[in-house]
Structure 1
């Protein structure tokens, strides 16, 4: 496994390989917790300069902590609150260059400076969100967003 910044190829090639690794890990397994656990571990190994990678799962009108890699985290987040709740409520990805500038940001880890959240939608229902935090501002960009959205589209097939 390689870190995205340590690979000599272009970023798109790196993401293509990541998606192939995801399919290899999940193929033949239908257990949601197992697949989300492996997906979070894969992403944690893929990215440099991140301090939290994981999932929040929908339960009623809130998100509940799911499989993750990182420090202990907030357990419940109402839809519409913080970056994760906003992504779930609006059903769209949220890319935040500086979490301290995001109204209502929930600081589970004081070290987090930037964040990207991608909703997980299957059959029109929000199953949860993928959340990745970094201790650096401006860590994520549109290339990350587009590729993580594709990562989630693949993941959904195994949930």
Structure 2
């Protein structure tokens, strides 16, 4: 049994360093990327406050070009396929840049899977220079994600990208 907890009083940089170490410990020795994504989504959901959705979308080639396909997540049912460049997740995948959105209702083309979501952080995941997916985090609080959150989750996905690549 795994029992992880983060001290909320730690500075953000230390909290994310610990979260990354937990994710590495949780995925160590496991070769199945779906199992690793599932455990990391659960870990994030358990350790990071004020989230209503945490999970992964995997990059694939769809009928009309590159798209993201729903992977393991914690939260309400979600959109299964997102076109490259569509919504916050598709924008992160197409641009290769983290998207930190303070108010999803103000984001052009936002795809609302959960009406309770107000802010979103989407971090592209790279392997060998190519986007292989995104980590998607939603919050019911506007402005929930700070630059430190973006940096912390970028470091986390960078550390585990080999373990979640299919």
TM over 0.5, shorter chain: yes
Residue in structure 2 matching 1:78, options 75, 79, 83:
83
Instruction: Give a deviation string over 1:97-154, Cα, whole Å, max 9, x none.
Output: 0000000000000000000000011012211100000000000010000010000001
Corresponding residue number in structure 2 for 1:56: 57
The CA deviation string for residues 11-31 of structure 1, in whole angstroms up to 9 with x for no partner, is 222111111111110111111
Corresponding residue for residue 31 of structure 2: 30
How far apart in 2 are the matches of 1:78 and 1:98?
21
Paired position in structure 1 for 2:134: 129
- Residues 50-82 of structure 1, C-alpha deviations (whole Å, 9 max, x = no match): 100000011111100000000100000000000
The answer to whether residue 97 in structure 2 is matched with residue 92 in structure 1 is: yes
Aligned length in residues: 157
Q: Distance in 2 between matches of 1:104 and 1:155?
A: 30
For 2:9 and 2:85, locate their aligned partners in 1 and report how far apart those are by CA, in whole Å: 39
Secondary structure of the structure 1 residue equivalent to 2:134: strand
SS at match of 2:78: coil
Name the counterpart of 1:120.
Answer: 125
Q: Distance in 1 between matches of 2:10 and 2:94?
A: 36
Residue of structure 1 in register with 2:147 after alignment:
142
Give yes or no for the alignment of 1:21 onto 2:26. Answer: no
Give me the CA root mean square deviation: 1.0
Give 1:102's aligned residue: 107
Structure 1-normalised TM-score? Answer: 0.95
